[in-house]
Structure 1
Amino acid sequence: MPPTPQTSATRRIAYPRELALDPDKFREPRRPDCPWCGSRRLRTRLRTPDLLQRKPGTFVLDVCEDCGHTFQNPRLTAQGLAFHHRDFPHETLPLRILRTRAGRGRHLAVARAMLPYGEPESWLDVGTGYGRFPAAAREVHPYTAFDGTDPSARVERARALGRIEEAHRGRLPGLVERLRARYDVVSMLHHLEHSPDPREELRAALAVLRPGGHLLVEVPDPDCAFGALLGKWWLSYGQPRHLHLVPLRNLLGELDGLGCTVVSVDRRAPHVPYDLTGAVALRLAGRGFAPVLAVPFALDRALAPLLRRTRFSNSYRVLARR
């Protein structure tokens, strides 16, 4: 049930008090080096409040000047992540716009990307939530058994709705022994940016793949020019929920180091035409004015065929074979 204005106001009053009780439990110490390459050549890329929930705090994204990895620093602890996921307003206008990324048409397009490689027998969707991707992908792969993982109870709801066959609650690294070498395809669609350790997630994904299986990864592109143009109003920064933004070259290097063969890289099709609309929606969050979005909405879609061929493309997709 969505929160009422009264409950939202009550929560806004309670949040600072909760943070004040033990502020150290919500954030790790600030790290002096890059979690990807170890370089100490860091600079601050962004400082922003929580623009979606308006919970207290300022969040910092640092970027490594050697490898380009962008990461939250200091990072939220597990308790901090739980605090900022709690009462998450799934029906806010910016999040409705974000869900255009996860619409049925886009899900079908992702599923069709696997057609040249045959009909998989089994497919694991990591971070599946309510299982909307498997529900759509089944139309493209009707003979595939789809399972899902998610840290929340949403994955169990997905199974109850018949969108997946097996629900595995938890983070994938903790499920490896149960699922080892079981799947022909593992998909991570806009999942790695939420992970405390993207490399650990990639290793776990390969562990649950059968030899010759495929890993499908789609993530926001931190090299997207909209990040510099829109600053904190760029939806893909996603603070404080996005912990890592991995440049394409880093992901490709990691997959190569893990012994994978990269089958395809796509920086065009994954682009979602929502950057201008999302920025305006974030700016107006909580104040309505939906008609104002008509202009940026139209611009996003009119410019999409051009932007997806430039540095303004906001996502990329990698398909790799174990």
Structure 2
Amino acid sequence: MTTADPSPAPAGTAAARSTDRVAALRPAYRADLADGTDRFFHPRRTDCPWCSSTALRPRLHTTDLLQHKPGRFTLDTCEGCGHTFQNPRLNDEGLEFYYRDFYDGLGEQRLGKTFAGRATVHRNQARSVLPHSPAPRTWLDVGTGHGHFCATAREVFPGAAFDGVDLSQGVELAERAGRLRRGLRGLFPELAPGLAGQYDVVSMLHYLEHTTDPARELASARQVLRPGGLLLVEVPDPRSRFARLLGRWWLPWLQPQHLHLAPAANLRHRLEALGFAVVAEQHGEAHDPIDLLAAGWLLLDHLAPREDAPWHPDGPPGPLRRTLRPALLLAGAPLLIVAMLLDRLLAPIAGRTGHSNAYRLLARRTP
């Protein structure tokens, strides 16, 4: 066990409050992990959840590189259709465990600041709808989090009313903050029947890959759209060259949260089968130039001593760990700067060279 710091943070400081919160959560996490992590998974599949082919091959073995919660995760790829999926997949208990304190709880403030700083990305996503629906009246953002996309999209579409759906308490905070007209907390397929035919646009921006049944989510989107309404989907591209070059350090793998990563052709065909007509497909426009920077950060964070967290078995960090971590991250700063510059240099040609880390589909609901 790491010894406690003989000079703890003064009572009442932010550091002390954080330490107290972590300490209060530690017994529950230890109870959750007492029997290991095997209980968090479904049995391994032997067929593809997208096309039912049994021609599967391992794509990636990794750990939780963001929260560093215990567990190992495998992604398999279908040789038949190219669909990549977590196998074995987390069950409901596992999803609750690994999502806990990521978007809310301990992680709420940090993630809220991250999403709030992505206004340029959100504005570009919203503008992709303009040529096909210049004046939507109602818009539903599925997986809205804290509603930051909607707050920015309102600048592009000032006449639209924005609602949001999410499982986390962030959607309720977004409604209170005025970023959403209405925040709906729950599973989208369960909420969809009560929202049937109410929306001109539905957006699913880096949401579908988190879901257990993407086809059901897409069918629910069609249900809540008016005839002629638009569905905007943006997801990571598992065929990105960066996915192969960076391996487990490619951020969009995002294990254990990302359960399904579908190639563009798969998603396009599924939308058409559900009664959508795809009106736009974008790759370079959807690229987020952070691959090398994120990979550098994940590597440095992996090598550095852990921050205090209630799921770490060795307890709160002592003075040596608290000193070594910032020192290592500071030493790696030049690496991160070079990575950021390379990301920006490659960004204009990412789509043409196959390095785009995401793609965007815009589909119209047909009668």
1:151 matched residue in structure 2: 167
Q: Is the 8 A contact 1:97 1:278 kept in 2?
A: no
* Offset from partner CA, 1:150-202 (integer Å, 9 cap, x none): 01111011000001101111121010111001100000000001001111100
What is the rounded CA distance, in whole Å, between the counterparts of 1:103 and 1:266 in structure 2? 19
Please list, as runs of the form range in 1=range in 2, the aligned pairs for 1:204-219 lying within 5 A after superposition.
Answer: 204-219=220-235
Mapped partners of 1:92, 1:239: distance in 2: 21
**Partner residue, 1:198:** 214
Q: Any idea what SS the aligned residue of 1:222 has?
A: coil
Alignment match, 1:108:
123
**Residues 272 and 263 (structure 1), Cα distance of their counterparts in 2 relative to 1, 3 Å cut:** same
Tell me if the contact between 2:112 and 2:146 (Cα under 8 Å) persists in the aligned partners.
no
1:240 aligns with 2:283: no
In the alignment, which residue of structure 2 is the partner of 1:76? Answer: 90
> How far did residue 70 of structure 1 move?
0.4
Q: Hey, what does 1:310 align to over in structure 2?
A: 353
Q: Which amino acid aligns with 1:184?
A: D
Quick one: which amino acid aligns to residue 244 of structure 2?
Answer: A
Match of 2:180 among 164, 182, 195: 164
Paired position in structure 2 for 1:265: 281
Residue 319 in structure 1 maps to residue 362 in structure 2 = yes
Shift of 1:91: 7.8
How far apart are residue 299 of structure 1 and its match?
A: 1.1
Q: Which runs of 5+ in 1 are unaligned?
A: none
> Does the aligned pair in 1 maintain the 2:101–2:108 contact within 8 Å?
no
CA 186–91 in structure 1, closer or farther in 2 if over 3 Å, else same: closer
- Structure 2 counterpart of 1:224: 240
Instruction: Name which structure has the greater RCO, CA cutoff 8 Å, separation 6+.
Output: 2
Structure 1 residues 300 and 6 mapped into 2: Cα distance closer, same or farther (>3 Å)?
farther
Contact 2:284–2:349 (CA<8 Å) still a contact in 1? no
Residue of structure 1 in register with 2:74 after alignment: 60
CA distance in 2, matches of 1:245, 1:16: 32
Where in structure 2 are there 5+ consecutive unaligned residues? 1-13, 307-324
Deviation of 1:53 after TM superposition, in Å, equals 1.2
- Secondary structure (helix, strand or coil) at the match of 2:32 reads helix
Question: Which structure's CA Rg is the greater one?
Answer: 2
Structure 1 residue 96 displacement after superposition: 9.2
1:122 and 2:138 correspond: yes
Q: Distance in 1 between matches of 2:134 and 2:356?
A: 29
> What SS is found at the alignment partner of 1:54?
coil
For residue 43 of structure 1, what is the aligned residue in structure 2?
57
Write the letter of the residue equivalent to 1:302.
L
CA contact (8 A) 1:176 1:208 kept: yes
Q: Distance in 2 between matches of 1:43 and 1:128?
A: 33
1:173 corresponds to 2:214: no
Aligned residues: 320
CA distance in 2, matches of 1:33, 1:92: 39
Q: Are residues 229 and 99 of structure 1, via their aligned partners in 2, closer, same or farther at CA, if it must alter by over 3 Å?
A: farther
CA RMSD of aligned residues (A): 2.4
Q: Distance in 2 between matches of 1:98 and 1:228?
A: 26
Alpha-carbon offset, residue 126 of structure 1 = 0.3
Question: TM-score if structure 2 supplies the norm length?
Answer: 0.81
Corresponding residue SS for 1:269: helix
